């Protein structure tokens, strides 16, 4: 995998971040070191698996966690309904607070990423209006929903009052647990809306149940004989 760097620098805000596991921290900087402005990072799970020496499924879990926490977003390029490439983008901005602090440095770097002060003021104003709202009494659910609103903004979906009310209405019929699963699915897939879960958990029949047993009803003669025995 081609790189364009002379080392990796991890900001203290990420290295000391208690919200990130060690694997998530190193995955984040590895994605950043492999990415470019247009395509992001298109390394496969197999590449990451060989690089870190862990399984593909564990790599998938780490990337999903970074998506749900708002650190990265994932886009899929499809051809004839088949995925031909995955692009992972570091979310800056908006990105967890550390990269907002780094912008002064980045703007002075050749080829660095430049964002104007006005953009931050606009973002801060919108954050106060939208991202500080309480949509659910369940804090975990509320935080997850706000992370989803931030993702919507990154993928150019406008978070108007009407749009947010529409999302809340779609989630309304479900329990908090199902709501969170729907939102997490939208985060992982970078969807602009939330959708009912397709794969509902299947209720398995206990092993001790013999499905071949059929209900055996008594005949009139057998019923009469039983009555005589019981003196009814």
Model confidence pLDDT, tens digit, residues 153-175: 888 888 888 889 999 999 999 99
Q: What is the pTM of this model?
A: 0.41
Q: What is the mean pLDDT of residues 18-32?
A: 89
Burial class (CB in 10 A: 0-12, 13-18, 19+), 41: buried
The answer on pLDDT for 31 being more than 70 is: yes
Q: Does 71 score more than 60 pLDDT?
A: yes
Kindly tell me if the per-residue pLDDT of 178 is higher than 90: yes
Return mean pLDDT, the chain: 75
Least confident of 11-20, 33-42, 66-75, 157-166: 33-42
Cite the DSSP H helix spans in the chain.
Answer: 12-15, 22-34, 45-52, 56-68, 98-101, 103-107, 117-126, 139-154, 161-171, 176-188, 220-229
């Amino acid at each position: 995998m081609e790189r364009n760097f002379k080392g990796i620098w991890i900001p203290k805000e990420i290295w000391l971040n208690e919200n990130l596991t060690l694997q998530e921290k190193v995955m984040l900087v590895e994605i950043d070191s492999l990415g470019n402005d247009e395509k992001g990072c298109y390394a496969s799970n197999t590449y990451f698996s060989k690089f870190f020496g862990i399984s593909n499924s564990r790599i998938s879990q780490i990337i999903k966690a970074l998506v749900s926490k708002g650190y990265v977003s994932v886009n899929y390029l499809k051809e004839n309904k088949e995925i031909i490439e995955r692009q992972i983008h570091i979310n800056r901005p908006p990105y967890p607070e550390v990269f907002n602090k780094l912008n002064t440095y980045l703007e002075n770097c050749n080829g660095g990423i430049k964002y104007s002060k006005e953009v931050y003021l606009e973002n801060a104003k919108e954050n106060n209006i939208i991202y500080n709202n309480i949509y659910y009494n369940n804090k975990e659910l509320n935080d997850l929903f706000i992370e989803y609103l931030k993702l919507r903004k990154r993928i150019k979906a406008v978070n108007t009052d009407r749009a947010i009310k529409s999302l809340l209405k779609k989630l309304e019929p479900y329990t908090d647990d199902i709501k969170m699963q729907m939102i997490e699915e939208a985060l992982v897939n970078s969807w602009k809306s939330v959708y009912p879960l397709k794969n509902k958990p299947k209720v398995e029949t206990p092993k001790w149940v013999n499905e071949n047993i059929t209900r055996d009803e008594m005949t009139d003669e057998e019923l009469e004989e039983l009555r005589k025995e019981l003196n009814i």
